[in-house]
Amino acid sequence: MAKKITIEPVTRVEGHGKVTIHMDDKHNVTQARLHIVEFRGFERFVQGRPYWEMPVLVQRLCGICPVSHHLAAAKAVDVIVGAGTGEGLTPTGEKMRRLMHYGQIFQSHALHFFHLVSPDLLLGADADPAIRNVIGVALNFKDLAVQGVMMRKFGQEVILATAGKKIHGTGAIPGGINKNLSAEERDSFLKGADPLNVDKMIAWAQGAVDLFKDYHSKNSEIIDNFSVFPSNHLSLVRKDGAMDLYHGVLRAVDADGKKILNDVDCQDYLKYIGEEVRSWSYMKFPYLKELGKEKGWYTVGPLARLNTADFIPTPLAQKEFEIYKAYTKGKPNNMSMHMHWARLIELLHAGEMIKELVNDPDIMGDNLVTKGTKGREGVGLIEAPRGTLFHHYKINDNDQVVMANLIVSTTNNNEPMNKAVNFVAGKLFTGQSKITEGMMNRVEMAIRAYDPCLSCATHAIGKMPLEVSLVDTNENIIDRMSR
């Protein structure tokens, strides 16, 4: 009899998800799906509000990466106030925002690696869930756990200094920023007491990259083959092809590295990207129009960014980029678990960027805001920790928002996450009728590689409330396991 296996809620991803694995009578996996309850309500909720509230209002849809929403909305609103499309701000305005963003990337990537991923790598996918969590890491690898906590703290201090608050700040305003960096703030980042200074942070980020490479060299069989499938990749890149997480033009490459999109102005995203609705998920499926719904899906995030960028404009990260690229002989990397490697190279890059920005005299300037000819529409894109984030607003003559469209990173990664679940489920569940702890966690690991931000982070520590149901074609539950 055909069966459906349901895994819910997925743990140690940011929020809730549910996986169903459909099996035919012979226990072959026919399809695996990741269902996500999403927050499209926000797009309706902001209608009628004045446009200048958007950066502060829309970030409230997320407690995990609010800075990314704050900045994407601010960039969209910049266009409305005629402050340019990412390049027209004053040097202080732009650099403060960049600093805020790299602070966010730094803390988010550190959190993801040390708290969410390292338990799988350091303790093993088959370890007891009571141990395989951040507490288990803290008990067995104390130094690493401390690094994770302190790196996150450092990133949050950068956010505090630029946004006014560690979570849900108000720093980015239409056309610029509401404060500069004070001399004390600058000095605290450059010369803060050990370990909270940027040099130590960069050293630790380098250490994290090395840790991954070491793990990889001993476990390449698992890491390289865990989940591999050809994908298109999309991200912003600087006009010269450099990695730029704050601003750039859209570039998409296919699984072989051929450019599908190049030099696309963010304001024109709708010409190139469509969104498909499928009945079984609240989350839409974006695709590249040029390739159509079937073939146009793409990956965003660290893996994609290292596939689209030609180089990384900071020395240590560039060195690691070269090693990383050499592993796939310069071709796009389609191995899901290499997302972690890519993320750590970005962590290193973010640390280097923070140092560069904090040392830049412009960051202490007084010219904070710029404005120009007002428009009625604006698009803001940013490379959030989890991938490309789109904000698009239209306003009426009274400055009230009449249309908002948000495509968040996790939505962009919807199809690749489903592909990853299919890949892993196909390998693990075929011919099986019982589920083990290790099998369940491997499905989760495939999803977790994308660092999906599903709604909240309440499962980061320990508990892992996991329920597995075996359901036949008539929706009868024939077996259930929960912990």
If the CB atoms of residues 164 and 207 are measured against other proteins, the closer one turns out to be 164
| CB contact burial 232-254 (16+ within 10 A = b; e otherwise) | bbbbbbbeebebbbbbbbbbbbb
Q: Are 387 and 339 in contact (CB under 8 A)?
A: no
- Of these, 50, 91, 230, 438, which contacts other proteins (CB under 8 A)? 50
If the CB atoms of residues 203 and 402 are measured against other proteins, the closer one turns out to be 402
Dig out the tokens for 87 from the structure: 């390049």
Please report how close the Cβ of residue 377 comes to other proteins at its closest, in angstroms. Answer: 16
- Of these, 178, 219, 318, 405, which contacts other proteins (CB under 8 A)? 178
Q: Which is nearest to 68 in space by CA: 104, 43, 39, 95?
A: 104
If the CB atoms of residues 48 and 315 are measured against other proteins, the closer one turns out to be 48
CA distance 206 to 112: 16
Task: Give whole-number Cα distances, 19 to 24, 292, 315, 329, in Å.
Answer: 17, 26, 41, 34
Please report how close the Cβ of residue 65 comes to other proteins at its closest, in angstroms. Answer: 16
Single-letter amino acid code for the residue at 481: M
When asked if residue 292 is in the footprint of other proteins (CB under 8 A), the reply is no
| Phi, psi dihedrals of residue 14, rounded to the nearest 5° | -80, 80
Q: Which is nearest to 77 in space by CA: 49, 96, 101, 102?
A: 49
- Of these, 1, 37, 48, 359, which contacts other proteins (CB under 8 A)? 48
When asked if residue 394 is in the footprint of other proteins (CB under 8 A), the reply is no
Q: Which stretch binds other proteins (CB under 8 A): 1-9, 130-138, 244-252, 395-403?
A: 395-403
Q: Which stretch binds other proteins (CB under 8 A): 8-16, 46-54, 407-415, 437-445?
A: 46-54
- Of these, 52, 215, 311, 327, which contacts other proteins (CB under 8 A)? 52
- Of these, 18, 35, 49, 319, which contacts other proteins (CB under 8 A)? 49
When asked if residue 272 is in the footprint of other proteins (CB under 8 A), the reply is no
When asked if residue 57 is in the footprint of other proteins (CB under 8 A), the reply is yes
Residue 358 backbone zone (phi > 0: left; psi -120 to 50: alpha; other: beta)? alpha
Task: Tell the residue number behind the tokens 């689209």, with chain if given.
Answer: 308
Task: Tell the residue number behind the tokens 């290193």, with chain if given.
Answer: 348
When asked if residue 405 is in the footprint of other proteins (CB under 8 A), the reply is no
* Secondary structure letter of residue 329 according to DSSP: T
If the CB atoms of residues 45 and 327 are measured against other proteins, the closer one turns out to be 45
CA distance 190 to 196: 9
- Of these, 32, 56, 273, 345, which contacts other proteins (CB under 8 A)? 56
Q: Are 464 and 152 in contact (CB under 8 A)?
A: no
Please report how close the Cβ of residue 85 comes to other proteins at its closest, in angstroms. Answer: 19
If the CB atoms of residues 12 and 101 are measured against other proteins, the closer one turns out to be 101
Please report how close the Cβ of residue 58 comes to other proteins at its closest, in angstroms. Answer: 9
3-state secondary structure 408-469: CHHHHCHHHHHHHHHHHHHHHHCCCCCCCHHHHHHHHHHHHCCCCECCCCCCCCCCCCCEEE
* Secondary structure letter of residue 228 according to DSSP: B
If the CB atoms of residues 143 and 366 are measured against other proteins, the closer one turns out to be 366
Residue ranges with strand state E in 254-365: 259-264, 273-276, 285-288, 298-299
If the CB atoms of residues 35 and 49 are measured against other proteins, the closer one turns out to be 49
- Of these, 217, 279, 373, 398, which contacts other proteins (CB under 8 A)? 398
Please report how close the Cβ of residue 174 comes to other proteins at its closest, in angstroms. Answer: 7
**Contact mark string toward other proteins, 343..382, x via CB under 8 A:** --------------------------x-------------
If the CB atoms of residues 61 and 273 are measured against other proteins, the closer one turns out to be 61
If the CB atoms of residues 131 and 167 are measured against other proteins, the closer one turns out to be 167
Positions in 138-177 near other proteins (CB under 8 A): 164-165, 168-171, 173-174
Please report how close the Cβ of residue 464 comes to other proteins at its closest, in angstroms. Answer: 31
CA distance 157 to 57: 22
CA distance 410 to 17: 12
- Of these, 81, 134, 253, 425, which contacts other proteins (CB under 8 A)? 81
If the CB atoms of residues 26 and 44 are measured against other proteins, the closer one turns out to be 44
When asked if residue 47 is in the footprint of other proteins (CB under 8 A), the reply is no
Dig out the tokens for 428 from the structure: 């693990």
If the CB atoms of residues 178 and 219 are measured against other proteins, the closer one turns out to be 178
If the CB atoms of residues 56 and 471 are measured against other proteins, the closer one turns out to be 56
Q: Which stretch binds other proteins (CB under 8 A): 33-41, 51-59, 237-245, 343-351?
A: 51-59
CA distance 267 to 244: 17
CA distance 125 to 260: 37
Q: Which is nearest to 167 in space by CA: 289, 309, 67?
A: 67
- Of these, 53, 224, 362, 472, which contacts other proteins (CB under 8 A)? 53
Q: Are 301 and 414 in contact (CB under 8 A)?
A: no
CA distance 401 to 381: 18
Angle at 369 between CA 368 and CA 375, to 5 degrees: 165
Please report how close the Cβ of residue 447 comes to other proteins at its closest, in angstroms. Answer: 30
- Residues of this chain that interact with other proteins (CB under 8 A) are 48-50, 52-53, 55-57, 60, 81, 164-165, 168-171, 173-174, 178-179, 369, 398-400
